[in-house]
């Protein structure tokens, strides 16, 4: 299995699949907010909704492991401490910022802004790993990507818009996600990727529910049949995407694997345009997506250029 998860095409296929799943979360959550009749400024309701989603996702993975091989569920005290911190950062903090930030930006903007996490991961990997350093290709990719984030927030009056609880929260979600990626790569020694996903989702979501449920106001969320289907889908996509992502992350370079997350804003923006009637692809969104695409090509160009080089092939 280890060799399979190092195979170039397996890694690329899983990374692209995960990125598309994460991209679909943007229109799903935007539609969910409307379907569940949640107020845009109801922070507690969003904490509870996120907690419910990730608790279900975590339990699904843990039950699956219990059936397939329960020995993977067993963790040491040290690992449990790490999983608790990891759950707070990767699930609790990241999705507090994500859920509340997305309520104050469009689905397309949110999809592009969250890609900042990819840039943060590449930069952090430079300082943590000697074999995952920044180079000119990555630098050009980072500049193109950050420029894309800025372009995505230009309004029709050619003024750059920014609010802490909107764009700011989405960028903070990207930063906490990047920190979580490095933590998973660096500290999750001896933990099966599926166990890592299941425990961190369960622990992080449990803390969110402990904080949120006592403060939840009456009728903050009204579940409809469609609302339930959207909720279940969001939990399933989280379980699948995180479990698969940590599986390939365990055996590949964090900086290079994370570059495929640039596909998340592309799929998120396109799916938002398709499923959210109020959102249309503007020249700014299209320009931002083009810059993000340039970022992907730039960062990965060296692999194509030296694809026959044995050292480069060992990246996978």
Supply the pTM of this predicted model: 0.76
Number of domain units in the chain: 1
CA distance 256 to 126: 11
pLDDT (tens digit, 0 to 9) for every residue of the chain, 316 residues total?
566 667 777 888 888 888 888 888 888 988 998 899 888 788 899 899 999 999 999 999 999 888 888 888 888 888 888 888 988 998 889 888 988 888 888 777 787 787 777 778 778 877 776 666 777 877 887 788 778 767 766 654 444 566 787 888 888 998 898 888 788 777 767 888 888 888 989 999 999 999 999 998 888 888 999 999 999 999 998 888 888 888 887 777 766 676 677 777 778 878 888 888 777 777 877 887 788 778 766 766 655 444 444 333 333 2
Domain of residue 173, residue span = 4-313
* Helix then strand then coil, % of the chain, to nearest 5: 80, 0, 20
Burial of residue 71 (CB within 10 Å: 0-12, 13-18, 19+) is exposed
């Amino acid at each position: 299995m280890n060799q399979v998860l190092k195979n170039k095409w397996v890694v690329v296929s899983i990374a692209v699949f995960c990125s598309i799943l994460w991209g679909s979360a943007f229109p799903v959550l935007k539609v969910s907010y409307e379907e569940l009749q949640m107020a845009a400024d109801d922070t507690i309701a969003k904490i509870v909704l996120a907690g419910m989603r990730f608790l279900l996702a975590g339990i699904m993975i843990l039950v699956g492991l219990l059936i397939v091989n329960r020995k993977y569920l067993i963790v040491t005290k040290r690992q449990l401490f790490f999983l608790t911190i990891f759950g707070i950062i990767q699930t609790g903090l990241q999705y507090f910022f994500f859920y509340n930030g997305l309520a104050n930006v469009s689905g397309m903007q949110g999809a592009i802004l969250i890609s900042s996490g990819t840039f943060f991961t590449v930069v952090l990997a430079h300082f943590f790993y000697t074999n995952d350093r920044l180079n000119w290709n990555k630098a050009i990719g980072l500049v193109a990507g950050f420029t894309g984030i800025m372009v995505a927030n230009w309004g029709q009056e050619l003024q750059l818009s920014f609010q802490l609880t909107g764009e700011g929260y989405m960028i903070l979600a990207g930063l906490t996600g990047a920190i979580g990626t490095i933590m998973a790569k660096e500290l999750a020694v001896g933990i099966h990727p599926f166990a890592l996903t299941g425990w961190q989702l369960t622990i992080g979501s449990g803390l969110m529910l402990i904080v949120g449920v006592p403060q939840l106001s009456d009728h903050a969320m009204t579940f409809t049949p469609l609302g339930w289907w959207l909720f279940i889908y969001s939990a399933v996509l989280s379980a699948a995407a995180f479990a698969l992502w940590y599986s390939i992350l365990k055996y590949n370079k964090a900086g290079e694997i994370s570059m495929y997350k640039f596909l998340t804003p592309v799929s998120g923006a396109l799916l938002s345009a398709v499923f959210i009637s109020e959102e249309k692809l503007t020249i700014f969104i299209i320009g931002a997506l083009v810059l993000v695409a340039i970022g992907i090509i730039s960062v990965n160009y060296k692999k194509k250029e030296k694809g026959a080089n044995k050292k480069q092939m060992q990246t996978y």
